[in-house]
Amino acid sequence: MQDFIDQATKNGVALLDTGKCQFCGADYRRGIYECMENYNNGLLFFDFGDIDNHLYRFLSVDAHALQHPEIHGRWSDHFHLTRLHLILERKQPWDYNKSPLLSDYLNRYKSNKPNEFLIVPKSLNRGNIRAKDLTKATTTEECAQLITKWADEVYQSWSSNHEVISRIADGFLENYYIETTEGRKTTKRK
């Protein structure tokens, strides 16, 4: 909880504790505080012991983060938007091993481009579906469809950055496949 408050302070953003969430517009009474407390509630349907369901966690984490960039470090936007691009546009299967690889790639990338800023869409203009809407779903399938739609809406709302992100995705994929191919060669030699 403290993390997002600290990050907002760092970003010079005042957090409001009444009414709707000031960033995504979810209909709460204690604003972003309630939005943060509840954002996992829509995922209760999923059995995360089943690896196929991990996708919905990645998509919802990315969608929520990109609806609330003011409470994250700015390079988080690069991470979440690139991951959405890789999953939604490039149809890359994703798993928990790939996220740290993407982080590593972005760490190298940002040391070459320390002044690159993404264009952040205005708050309340980052897709109409919110984490809170997931709780209206009555089946796992319905919830999965809603998450996919939510992620897509948020992704589209960041469209001014798609070109930059697409280039980052190219670099990541190239690097990823070189690393995995070299990894295989190493295994053969053993």
CA-angle at 75, arms to 74 and 77, nearest 5°? 75
C-beta of 8 vs 26, nearer to Zn ion: 26
Residue 47 Cβ, how far from Zn ion at the closest point, in Å?
A: 26
Q: C-beta of 121: minimal distance to Zn ion in Å?
A: 14
Ordered DSSP codes for 134-171: GGG--SHHHHHHHHHHHHHHHHHHTGGGHHHHHHHHHH
| CB nearer Zn ion, residue 89 or residue 133 | 133
Question: Considering beta carbons, is residue 23 or 79 the nearer one to Zn ion?
Answer: 23
The CB-of-24 to Zn ion minimum distance in angstroms stands at 3
Cα-Cα end-to-end distance for the chain = 47
Q: Which SS3 state, helix, strand or coil, does residue 118 take?
A: coil
The residue sitting closest to Zn ion, measured at its beta carbon, is 21
Closest CA to 36 of 16, 54, 56: 16
Provide the minimum distance between the beta carbon of 166 and Zn ion in the complex, in angstroms, as a whole number. Answer: 27
* Cβ at position 142, least distance to Zn ion in Å: 21
**Toward Zn ion, which CB reaches closer, 70 or 144?**
70
Distances from the Cα of 54 to the Cα of 61, 84, 85, 90, angstroms: 11, 14, 16, 17
* Residue whose CB is less far from Zn ion, 87 or 129: 129
Binding site for Zn ion (CB under 5 A): 21, 23-24, 26, 35
Burial of 4 (0-12, 13-18, 19+ CB in 10 A): middle
